[in-house]
Chain A
């Protein structure tokens, strides 16, 4: 159990990415916790350093230079606790996303049930399921043993059997895993996480305890109609740390500096989204998306129940090339407002994987990166939708969420806010009424882990400097001819001014507001369109807050449809940009 301590006034949070490592300082200013400053350095998890302690040190040094506050000394290392002359910090925490995906083999009774659930569990960390072993895979035991020895996984997740349910079949599979473990050299012992029928836990300890690094968590599917992922997710996050400790140099030092308060960036990010789902509208979920250089994380939380997916090797840097395994080049070029040959786009995407830290210098290059980001979001949404609790699913549409939080430098550091908004709108295609915000300083993972030791800091920083509200989005969905009025909006401003606007199908427009301005909107969908107020044609009243881009009315339909003529798509993409920029 973690001890919380609201007396920790200054906290240093380090986020170790595959490309960049950032050091973030939080402290009390005028009786409230605030985010103070950030330092950064290139990550050193890989060649030639192979030691994350190096980049953590450099990032802290950069933070020292920027703040003038001494945090490390040659004699003592990290200065903890803080001193009377305002040097040092009271605690340090760390999150990490650097490192290759952890290789996982999932073992379970049936492909559609236990394997699917085990895979879902694996996707909550930066993992790649390299093989699946199930009763219905038709393999013989010897082939399963060979497979386990050949794939040399970092982790085997065994699931299957409801509590009190199947036991013989799962024990047979456990025997196979045990035999493979027996044949593995002692220094290559695999981590095994057992999350199946709880009545077999003692048998599992007997069979696998000596030949593996065995971990046991509560059954992820205790009964046919019930899933409980969270306890297993917590155990998996601990195993992740152990595996990374062996794989990545400097982990032990960072764990010592942080007193063990270190976790996967995705886990901490997801924890914050769950936290926010309790804080915001409880009848809607909260969605967070983080496009990194190598991986993309998406997490949705509904009534405190989270769905977390990490898509390894899919990102806007080292993971850029992978997008071409999900989509065609033409799926990327359809978003471009400029005429760029397919071959140039394909080469750019492949070169970006080779030079992941490189920056887009021309308009063409940034347009390609933003188009790739849209397709990464499309792929990520497609991945998470079936995993969201059924009660909240809306078919192929994004479920009702409030807000949507975008993270990752391709989104938050886009030169124009309209670009950030369009990447998220086009990629996620929210339906109904929602708010889009940016985690502008990339604080969420750090706040997620800090919430363990100082929840007050997390609450107070969230209320101040974390999010940039881009605006409320109203996105009616249904079918109509282009130009047909599909939504009537009656707008009542704080000063009592009332106006009415008819919104036509196919348009993207802005209702200009000042930042933070409260506006009451009476929304009446026309021609059977739906705005998420209880069904097609149902009207409703919404109290919206103006964001930095006002209130955005996205009447382009869901899903967005494209013309077979690339020139038409280009013109339309330009028009969408202009529609937003004239109000920005």
Chain B
């Protein structure tokens, strides 16, 4: 089932994926999001993926696991991935699990897009 909570925009070789659901807790929602995000890796060779989490206020450890799986898939095809717009209240979740050590986090997605534009793959 395609996720109804994901907006995709692709331009200049950069793919922006914005999750539009505030509570990313239900397994069907998380699985649908993960499937759709994984498809982007297949569709765009050497993807520059920017994941916008500005609308997300609640998430589960399962979603963090899916994020790690996505990061591994992106790096496996020599792509790159960053996360933008994580609310300050949620940032400790990524720090405790040390995802912030391997995935780039930026205050907003636009910053990552500009960075990726300046440094194309």
A binds B: no
| Chain B contacts to A: CB under 8 angstroms | none
| Chain A contacts to B: CB under 8 angstroms | none
